Structure 1
Amino acid sequence: MAKIKETDAVTGVDTTGHEWDGIKELNNPLPRWWLWTFYVCCIWSVGYWLVMPAWPLISDHTKGFLGYSSRAGLSKQIETAQARQGVYLERIAAADLEEIPQDAELLEFALAGGRSAFAVNCSQCHGQGAAGSAGYPNLNDDDWIWGGSLEAIHETVLYGIRSDHDDTRINDMPAFQADELLSREEISDTAEYVLSLSSDRGDAGAVARGEEIYVENCVACHQEAGAGDQDLGAPNLSDSLWLYGGDKASVIASINTGRGGVMPAWNARLDPVTIKQLAVYVHSLGGGE
């Protein structure tokens, strides 16, 4: 069917000849300002192609008359930032751990670097907010297994716990069931006593029997009344903070298998300054001693 063009009686604008269900399409021209904007953009694009890197080639790209490179600009910015940071990094390298918190400017820089290093290297286990989870210590509280001083944290980050480093700290808890050191009943009674150290719950008879077993098998590391020993990595059993859970089933599982988590040594993966920054950051989270 041939297109029939006509002038619309209402608007006075010619139609395109297209019609759908009685609706006719008007042939309204584009506004002048729009056309001129389009023309200017076309001219601008041609100029941009000539002066700036624009067209990909098989093995490279057009460089443009200006020879601009965002990568070169970024490299310059990185070099400038590294030069500024270098002053603080040298100061941290030369300072003792205890000196860093005493210098407000240096402390601010160390905390920023430690926070960044923690997010990249430590948050996968300890969590983004360092709250930890079952088997991964919460670094925000004041319950430290191997010590929460700056020096102790620094040593832990350097050499890890039960890692493959020669200077790592190791103290394995016996697996009392797996090694057939205690019977199921004895382990159950011991769990009742351990739980009684941080609460008033528990069967009095089981607690009394468990106390005798505890004195014979556990007191050497966990100390009397379950206060723990950071030199041996023996957790405090008298508070309500638990690494693997504080219900009876979890305590029994710990006695049965001995647990014993592993933290890697970071001395071969991170430079000494970053490890210092990490120690300062972790210590600042609220639970540092």
Structure 2
Amino acid sequence: MSKGKTDDVTGTDTTGHSWDGIEELNTPLPRWWLWTLYLCIIWGILYTIAYPAWPMVSGATKGVLGWSTRANVAAEITAHEGKNADLVAQLLATDMDVLPASADLNRYAVARGGAVFRANCSQCHGSGAAGAKGYPNLLDDDWLWGGDMAEIEYTVRHGIRNEQDDDARYSQMPAFGEMLEKDEITAVVEHVVSLSNADFDAQLAETGAVVYADNCAACHGEAGLGDRSQGAPNLADAIWLYGGDREALTETVKNARFGVMPAWGPRLTEADVRAVSAYVHSLGGGE
């Protein structure tokens, strides 16, 4: 290593450092840049003292100012609820069946219910409420338990086949794979296909009609139109929750289906239960 000297090409002093004959020029950072760096460091230290910053085992340092994004959001929510207190009181006092008759109140309920739906229901029913396999489409007029305002509210409040609410809607289709022979299942599936599809084996469907009458008609009705009081779906409208092809129907007949919906009554406020019910009813399939 040699002592610092002046570079012949640039006229800049060198640091005295040399690697393989390459010498390092002594070009220090501008003073304004250094002071900016120092000020940023000081600002960063003061920020971590004033605001929540350093992660700890069960949280973060609070900061001497006690600032909290959660507290700010909670305050905004409280302020918003205060502005809508009169509408909330009206919503709680209004019978759900006559809610659509009050245009302003119903408009508020639907808007509020849309937000509740997107936060809690869209994960299963989809952001547009069109459903998916195993999750009902809320846009059509095919309801397992009824689609008027009161029935929708009951379903939202208590759920379906859950173990948390004693008033949950409940129905159980037997797994006919344990009761019927394979050829009987094939025949009854063909009969079910014939109820809504013109492409079927007439002879096999006729055999299946006997199996259907003996095992399925009690819940789904003689014509397969279903029974909402039991949650038994309509088999003649070509609307299927788990699929209407022969493979899907065979799976349903053999092993049954057991979809579960949580009870939202304990999870949402009373106003939110009513609002999301109004929103679902407004989507186009509500009766």
Please classify the TM superposition score into its range, dividing by the shorter chain length. 0.7 to 0.9
Cross-structure match for 2:267: 269
Aligned amino acid, residue 138 of structure 2:
L
Deviations 1:248-285 (A, max 9, x none): 13212322344343333333333321211221222233
Residues 54 and 272 of structure 1, relative CA distance in 2, 3 Å threshold: closer
Cross-structure match for 1:87: 86
- TM-score with structure 1 length normalisation? 0.79
Cross-structure match for 1:170: 170
Distance 1:152 1:212 in 2: 34
Structure 2's unaligned 5+ residue stretches are: none
Structure 1's unaligned 5+ residue stretches are: none
- TM-score with structure 2 length normalisation? 0.79
Deviations 1:99-133 (A, max 9, x none): 44455554454334333433444345434544433
Residues 6 and 139 of structure 1, relative CA distance in 2, 3 Å threshold: same
Distance 1:243 1:17 in 2: 80
Residues 273 and 194 of structure 1, relative CA distance in 2, 3 Å threshold: same
How far apart are 1:166 and its partner, in Å? 4.2
Q: 1:233 aligns with which of 223, 231, 234?
A: 231
Distance 1:210 1:5 in 2: 101
> SS state of the match for residue 248, structure 2?
helix
Cross-structure match for 2:145: 146
Q: Is 2:52–2:61's contact at 8 Å kept on the other side of the alignment?
A: no
Distance 2:48 2:111 in 1: 43
Listed as ranges, the matches of 1:209-228 within 5 Å are 209-228=207-226
Aligned amino acid, residue 200 of structure 1:
A
Cross-structure match for 2:248: 250
Cross-structure match for 1:156: 155
> SS state of the match for residue 132, structure 1?
coil
> SS state of the match for residue 131, structure 2?
coil
How far apart are 1:9 and its partner, in Å? 2.4
RMSD of Structure 2 on Structure 1 (CA)? 3.4
How far apart are 1:144 and its partner, in Å? 1.4
Residues 25 and 105 of structure 1, relative CA distance in 2, 3 Å threshold: farther
Residues 54 and 110 of structure 1, relative CA distance in 2, 3 Å threshold: closer
> SS state of the match for residue 18, structure 1?
strand
Aligned amino acid, residue 202 of structure 2:
A
Cross-structure match for 2:24: 25
Q: How many corresponding residue pairs? A: 281
